[in-house]
A and B are shown apart, each in its own frame.
Chain A
Amino acid sequence: MTSEFATIQLLNGVSYGLLLFMLSSGLTLIFSMMGVLNFAHTSFYMLGAYLAYTISGVVGFWPALVIAPLVVGGLGAVFERYSLRKVHKWGHVPELLVTFGLSYLILELVQLIWGRSTVPYGLPVQLQGPLFTLYGTQFPKSRSFIMLVSLVMLASVWLLLTRTRIGLLIQAALTHPHMVEALGHNVPRVFMLVFGGGCALAGLAGVIGGNTYVTEPAMAGSVGSIIFVVVVVGGMGSLAGAFLASLLIGVVQTFAVALDHSMASVLKDTAMAITPDSFIYPLASLTISQVAPILPYLFLVLILIFRPKGLLGTRED
């Protein structure tokens, strides 16, 4: 592996990891505030991408970058107000079920409105082309834009939560909802804002992820299970853990898909060479890139066996 390949892959991995973090941060926020695992979170991500595609066709990409997440956040808040709040009294499993139902609904509605195939959601002119060229390998502007947006978002969410009045209120509502309510604040409305905010973050990820990668009905499902892995590996409800796990999984996956080595090819010239008629050959001949799709899940299983509360988690249940 050459060093330029490693650098570019590392940058690609970090940008993918930061995109994962934009998704998992919203999920983690909602989960740690309300205890709700939003199964439809990546459906809001998909919705963000499709809405941005339509809106940018009318007013251009840059206004869409602001409008689409706001619309998605509004839809999330409406869903919280009229559906999720109704099942809140029955506990967390019905809450999870109602978001599960929503994920079916959003998928079907997206297919109904935008069709079942890929939509041509392209990059704006300003983001096309490479940002810089390193030893002959290019690093695209769009990926660096993802990194920029997610870092800005991380900073602003952190400032919002720790430095503003509403942020303090949210933190208080998380630990002492009854006390906050007794002080005259509308806690259900705070929850609605948090849910809408988390969905807006997913929508934002969709706006910039949709044109960097592909905008298609399968996009929600393809990242859906990965971000659940991120949240569990990082530790349920831990924002810092989600950050670490997103980067880790992003980098590992990006490196893995580019590597064509297998156990058999590595051991080929040694004394322990594995021949095609050996019974472990089907296992040993798998290349790392073939194994790449399952690496996050393997990681999940290993974490659960050796550190059940996740990398930076504090909850034991």
Chain B
Amino acid sequence: MKKKVLATLLVGAMAASLLAGCGTTVETTGSSDTTTAPEKTQTTETAEAGEAGGSDVSADITLWTYPIGEWGNAETVDSLIQDFNKEYPGINVTVEYLDYTNGDDQVNTAIEGGQAPDLIMEGPERLVANWGAKGLMVDLSDILDDTDKSEIYESVLSACVNKEGATYEYPLCMTAHCMAINKTVFEEADAMQYVDAENHTWTTDDFFKAMDAVYAHTGQTVGAVYCSGQGGDQGTRALINNLYGGTFTDADHTKYTADSAENVKAIQALVDSKAIGFDASIAGGDEINLFRQGVLNVAFCWNIAQQLNADNNDAGLTNDGDEILFMAFPSEKATDTKLCGGIWGFGVFDNKDANKIEASKLFIKYMADSAEGTPDAVLSSTYFPVRDTVEGKDLTGLYGDVQTMSEYSTLMQYLGDYYQVTPGWAEARTAWWNMLQQVGSGADVQTAVDEFVGTANAAAAN
């Protein structure tokens, strides 16, 4: 009996499943075609109507947002939506909060499951380079009028619009990612002499000297190049690129250049430094946690939202009360540092429902392009606006009275090229982690970097 069952089991399992593997997905930039999509295919031309009398639009839309400052906090977002509903009572917005660990998978399964959200809030590397490039997003050019185009900073706009001129992200806010040091410990270790605390900059030489000084003082790893994956990748990239002036991609954003001599030298220097460990068991979020706990004395995954975070202690202090100083990444000449930017805004998934698309556009216009909604929407992100004025309202003084913000804005001048829209970004990002993990396990730097660039460029060429 058993043998017979087994025989049928074997033959059947093989036959039944062999076919399953024979299909492949050839990616095209066609439009999404889910079986569940309602039979409405008329295109939207009604978006502009929103400005006039769109308040009678009625729709249920979903917004999925990553934790972008307080946009990850339900209370804040609820109050923003309440304000929005005063103007558009018919539009019911349901919000889902994503995280950087599983968020992408969640969106991807939802797309595959035919239930992509209507609105999504993140940056160009996802909205433009990933989902936009796959033809899943709605072109928002119609709500980006000429005034908007002239107001939004050039560099931001170019990241949100793809090469064919389609706008897949309507930008809301931006910041520069930086690093942070535990100033109290640095002082104890007599390492503050290497830090330009006023300008928040330092040279590569001073950086390593400071690291060694702190290491000699504490006897413990000072900073960790976290590489378990998922989130915070900009910190590791900016650190490596800046040390000796390397770049991550070419200027046209067509191919990856992380294998340059400068980058290899930088990675090697980090590997050789006793004060810095490569840690494949932690991700960016864990690193921040360890830094706050005082285990690590340097964090490479930092920005203004972290500096203002007051969950465990007053803003700008570690859990034990040590002072946190945000710093630009070190480079050979301190002021040559190029910080990685973050640009956040809204995109609309093409779910083939004209009504929902229109409602989504109204939402975007209210949050990112209106005198009433935009200031609060930007403030909630704890980042900086992407334009000086919106619909005649001045945004430059938005954070006028917050001292940390104005101090932090000195870093904005170092904002570098927004290269995260290079094709193949999602693959490149995972390959990047793997490269760091290899190097951390003692692999030859040049070999590992070559492999990374090979994988990333192959993905870029697809």
- Same complex for A and B? Answer no
- Residues of A with Cβ closer than 8 Å to B? none
- Residues of B with Cβ closer than 8 Å to A? none
